[in-house]
Amino acid sequence: MGIINATPDSFYGGSRAATQSVALEKANTMIQEGAFILDIGGQSTRPGSVQIGANEELDRVVPVIESVKKAFPSTLISVDTYHPHVAIAAVHSGADIVNDISGGRFEDNMLSTVASLNVPYICMHSRGTIETMHEKPASNNIITELLDYFIERIDACNQAGIKDIIIDPGFGFGKTIEDNFTLLKEMEALQILRKPLLLGVSRKSSIYQTLKITPEESLNGTTVLNTVGLMNKAMILRVHDVKEAVQAIQLYQMMK
């Protein structure tokens, strides 16, 4: 899954595509490098970002989704949003998957909206509200916390009528660096949920703060952690750098 951000302020500049032409160029490169899914978002959720309204987010993502889907109709597109209004417009414009950092908690009718759209749903773990989700309270056991969260959220998704659920542990969202590495090391335990697992560690702060480098210098660290994630049963890698992620997958598959 390649990341395309229709935003001016995402934490990694290399993912930004503020115009349709830039987005199309990025999409073409990622597809040539082996991306099966393109994740298009119109709102930065990095720590310290200012959240925009649903209408502005919609204005950013819909033209990009339409143009990318027209140019590459066989490539799956996920829309990265927690707004039902945006999810509806995105799917009607060509998006195939809804990717929600809130797990349906920020908007009351998000889950029922996704169910009505009849598309797969990526349910991410996060804590608190949109204002507090990056606070980092201590966790006694991050795996137990995630299992409890996903059991409740999967049930809510099922009750709403969502048929296809993918889970995302939410690396970097309200978790300490220690939590993130514990989660990566013990991630295979989430297989008990019997849902495909998405891993999103690409260029995140657990890498660059640990190594005392910048997001721009974090490709090698990303590849290392993606490889660990594959060994611990990740099924989808959400990345800024598709070529290197595909190479990691190919080498892991050869080792297997």
For residue 236, the number of C-alpha atoms closer than 13 Å in the C-beta half-sphere is: 23
Structure tokens at 7: 């935003």
In angstroms, the CA 69 to CA 72 distance is 5
Provide the total of helices (H) and of strands (E) in the chain, helices listed first.
9, 8
Neighbours of 204 (CB within 10 A): 22
Spatial contact of 82 and 114, defined as CB atoms under 8 Å apart: no
Spatial contact of 76 and 104, defined as CB atoms under 8 Å apart: no
Which residues are marked as active site?
204, 238
Strands (E) located in 138-179: 165-168
Structure tokens at 164: 């296809």
In angstroms, the CA 83 to CA 124 distance is 14
Q: Is 98 helix (H, G, I), strand (E, B) or coil?
A: strand
In angstroms, the CA 129 to CA 102 distance is 8
Interacting residues of 126 by C-beta distance below 8 A, sequence separation 6+ = 101, 102, 103, 105, 133, 170, 173, 174
